[in-house]
Amino acid sequence: MILLLLHVMAVSLGLSLLAVGGAIAIVPEVYRIAVVSNGWLTPARFAELYAISQFAPGPNAMIVALVGWEALGGRFGGWVGGLAAMAAFVGPTSVISVLAFRSWAARIPPARQVLIRAGLLPLSVALVASSGVLITMSLGAVPVVLLVVGAVTAASALTKAHPLLLMAAGAAAGAASTLL
């Protein structure tokens, strides 16, 4: 139990160091480590927890807490696991951030900052797109899944619809499909 907890924290710490351009970028790696390598949860359960994490307020990284929660078996151990996973996820990177802001970050010439962001952007975009594809694939090629993914992709790319509204619409479509 303690070993599992330490393992989950080590994984969370490793994930946080890979989160370039935001926490959303590490979803494919959370999937690879938690589902493929360690078998802490099934692909479908991962997608389910990711959906729940998007329905809660707070930073984008809540899937990390839920994976810790699930790996430790839900219930009481799960709550400890979730909090520990999140502490390991945000603690060390916050220290790095504080030290970097204090010493060098603001001293990088603005022109070079622009280039660094330009260089990192295609990486972030690729990781976010990969997350979308991996979650879709983990749900299986069911008609309702493909329909909802396509409609929500278009709506969120082209309109200003609120994310929660689109999630609710997806939930309604999914629930309706079980009644047909």
- Is residue 108 within 8 A of residue 2, CB to CB? The reply is no
In the list 7, 10, 42, 55, the residue contacting other proteins (rule: CB under 8 A) is 55
Does 83 interact with other proteins (rule: CB under 8 A)? yes
CB under 8 A, 24+ apart: contacts of 37-44: 38/7, 38/11, 38/71, 40/67, 40/70, 40/71, 41/67, 41/70, 41/71, 43/137, 43/138, 43/139, 44/138, 44/139, 44/140
Smallest distance from other proteins to CB 173, Å: 5
Minimum distance from CB of 119 to other proteins (Å)? Answer: 4
Site string for other proteins, 101-120 (x = CB under 8 A): xx--xx--x-xxx-xxxxxx
**Which of 9, 65, 71, 88 forms a contact with other proteins (CB under 8 A)?**
65
For residue 55 the two structure tokens come to: 């329905």
The minimum distance between CB 90 and other proteins, in angstroms, equals 5
Q: Which of residues 16-35 bind other proteins (CB under 8 A)?
A: 16-24, 26-29, 32
Measured from the CB of residue 96, what is the shortest distance to other proteins in angstroms? Answer: 6
φ and ψ at 58, to 5 degrees?
110, 180
Tokens describing residue 178: 């079980």
Q: How many residues bind other proteins (CB under 8 A)?
A: 112
Q: Is 141 among the residues that bind other proteins (CB under 8 A)?
A: no
Nearest distance from C-beta of residue 141 to other proteins, angstroms? 11
The answer to whether residue 10 forms part of the interface with other proteins (CB under 8 A) is: no
Q: Is 82 in the site for other proteins (CB under 8 A)?
A: yes
C-alpha distances out from residue 118 to 80, 91, 106, 136, Å: 39, 27, 17, 28
